[in-house]
Amino acid sequence: MELQSALEERVVQAVRDAKDELIGLTAELVACDTTARLPGDPARDEERLQRLLAARLEALGAEADVWEPEPTGAGDRFVPAGLDFVGRPQLAAGLPGSGGGRSILLNGHIDAVDVQPREQWLSDPFVLTERDGYLFGRGANDMKGGVAGLVIALEALHRQGVRLAGDVIFCTVTDEESSGAGGRAAVAHGVTADAGIAAEATDFDAWVSCRGTVTPTITVAGRAGHAEMPQPDWRDGGAVNAIEKLVAVINGMGALREEWKARPDHVHPLLAPGDIVPTIVHGGTWMVTIPASCAVTADIMYLPRHVDAEGTGKAVEAEVIDRLNKAVAGDPWFAEHPLQFAWSDDVVPAEMPADHPLVTCALNCAAALGHRGEPAGLNSWHDAATFTRAGTPTFSFGPDGIDTAHAVNERVSVGGLVDFSAAIALAVMRWCGVTS
């Protein structure tokens, strides 16, 4: 693949000339503490970061909308209970085209995971540091570097006097790392386009599909008693060790995982089969007391094909409940003390055609700069799924890979970030169209 015109050559050079600005903007974003939050956590620097981005986009002529969504209230299976957006606004900024072209969504999330263990970082995680051609800092890879690349791409187009036919919608959201609530709020606010790109670190692949997640906490009942005293049968009032009873549940999870690996409905060309992984266990209160209860939380990943007609993972939940109940059915204790299931929010997967024109466009633009990516899948989840399900087919596309995302000494390469920004500028031109 090659650049298609002298204008494209000038735009690519303009992005490369803006390398220091790209690094500088990434540093400003990294300096904002937007650590992913749980319900009840205080606001951090989310508003400062969004206002910073809004100001850059307004300087290009965009109309920026910075808003705090209303809480969804109790009973929303897609958003954690008690989550609010006070001090944590979303941003949507529209750059209108001259008309007649296709619109494009450029999306990113501004939250980043915590920096622990902080003492293992070689430099301050909130101070972007350049070493050996890489930029180090929390969010540099996932995905503040990508967000900065989107902005610099638009600024380069503006400086070169490029007049787009189609509209550009720039949207940055909160809460991708925890629940996807920010993306859902953006969709509810009316953010839409003909197609979109999310700036995750994909090593220039196009993540066109992803898995979703439902998360149960399963509580096993026991009966307390002195751990150092012989106990009668439970039917005669004896103690029952809830931790020991949990073993059948864990074994049931393992059996279901192995079944999913072999089942035809769990075969996907770009994704791993669904999975169920126990991740948290709580049980017992005292070292010499037989535990009266034990709870296990599991991370359950499911494929797009298992989303039900209502757009939920309820069918997956029902299968898991049925299988784990069967796993303990041979123990008469559970007939009188059944498993208790509590489900957190449902993070719903999606996929779009691997040969979608914007996918092909973005991959061709990267190839023109020496990066040959291909359609791929994300075995985790990303905000692109929310926009896709809402009618804006969206995939993730960005520099480097995610090998240092969420890790100590997170990094992104300078060269990769510059080329990503240039590829976005090219993709916007080719997708939206350019008028004279």
Annotated catalytic residues are: 111, 176
Let me know: does 211 contact 350? Beta carbons within 8 Å. Answer: no
Helix, strand or coil for residue 328?
coil
Q: Which two tokens stand for residue 364?
A: 């061709």
Closest by Cα among 175, 187, 26 to 110: 175
Let me know: does 312 contact 248? Beta carbons within 8 Å. Answer: no
Q: Which two tokens stand for residue 370?
A: 């020496």
For residue 139, give Cα distances in angstroms to 55, 113, 131, 207: 21, 8, 16, 19
Let me know: does 376 contact 112? Beta carbons within 8 Å. Answer: no
For residue 159, give Cα distances in angstroms to 55, 146, 253, 377, 425: 16, 20, 56, 35, 12
Instruction: State the CB neighbour count (10 A cutoff) for residue 284.
Output: 18
CA distance 18 to 150: 12
Closest by Cα among 289, 284, 285 to 228: 289
Half-sphere exposure of 251 (CA within 13 A, CB side): 10
Instruction: State the CB neighbour count (10 A cutoff) for residue 263.
Output: 11
Helix, strand or coil for residue 189?
helix
CA distance 146 to 399: 7
Let me know: does 97 contact 166? Beta carbons within 8 Å. Answer: yes
Residue type, 280: I
